Amino acid sequence: MHNAVGGLRGFYFNPHGVYDKLSKSLTGDCVTLDNKLAPPVSPVSAWGVGRSYAEHAREMGMSKQIAFFSKPVTSLTGHLNPVVVPPVSEKPDYEGEIVIIIGKRIKNASTAEAGKAIAGYTAGADITDRLLQDMMSWSMAKGLDTYGPVGPVATIIDSPDELDGLCVETRLNGEKVQRGCTGDMIVSIPDMVSRLSALATLRPGDIVFTGTPPGVGHARKPPRYLRHGDELEVRVSGLPPLRNQIVKTPDQQ
């Protein structure tokens, strides 16, 4: 059983207390608010996994080997907040993703240990500038301010088995442009977290963008990059959609 909640900020300070409180008080009901929201987590660190879907790696001409990158917490924003494209970003692209939330501190964790450390999940968009991705690092291309929308709510899980069969769908101006499920991933989410924990200590409240399925704008012919006024929507199984509008400065429009 899982429950959807609007905020998990207490995980960093008292994860066990948050678990206890949630288990006693939540009913499983989910309420969607039609106003701007902060991300449902306040992570110390945000991480990303690249090439986790084989078909996305293929469409991008990349090797089918997962990669990790850091995503600055300053890139995070919430539901209904604008994704602000700065002048330096000439080829912004969408990547709808399942985002998992770490519930306890782990380092060099086994796959089983990593699975038990996953507290829940939410929806996210790993906005990526493709020109910067070619010229600089992934972290720079994906780390611009507001390039990490997350929300609008997070779901607590009791077992990593609840991640099996989760799907993510991206819509651009109402058109479905991406869809993928955890069964399509090259490795399982607990395995991803285990491998990441070999590189960095993961702490309660940290989040991991688990990668995007095929259908990104960069791989289309012709490429379809995000434009001023675009409405981006990311849906993850069982959660209300994450919605954000793309906003460019007047000289870019």
Fold held by 3-18+38-248:
Fumarylacetoacetate hydrolase; domain 2 (3.90.850)
pLDDT tens readout for residues 180-203? 999 999 999 999 999 999 999 999
Q: Which residues contact 78 (CB under 8 A, 6 or more apart)?
A: 36, 37, 38, 39, 40, 149, 150, 151, 152
Sketch the domain layout of the chain as residue ranges. Answer: 3-18+38-248
pLDDT (tens digit per residue) in 96-140: 999 999 999 999 999 999 999 999 999 999 999 999 999 998 999
Asked if the model's pLDDT at residue 1 lies above 80, the reply is no
User: Strand pairing of 83-85 and 242-248?
Assistant: parallel
pLDDT, one tens digit per residue, over 47-98 is 999 999 988 878 787 767 899 999 999 999 999 999 999 999 999 999 999 9
Q: For 224-240, how does the pLDDT look when each residue is reduced to its tens digit (9 = 90+)?
A: 999 999 999 999 999 99
pLDDT score recorded for residue 217: 97
If you average pLDDT over every residue of the chain, what do you get? Answer: 87
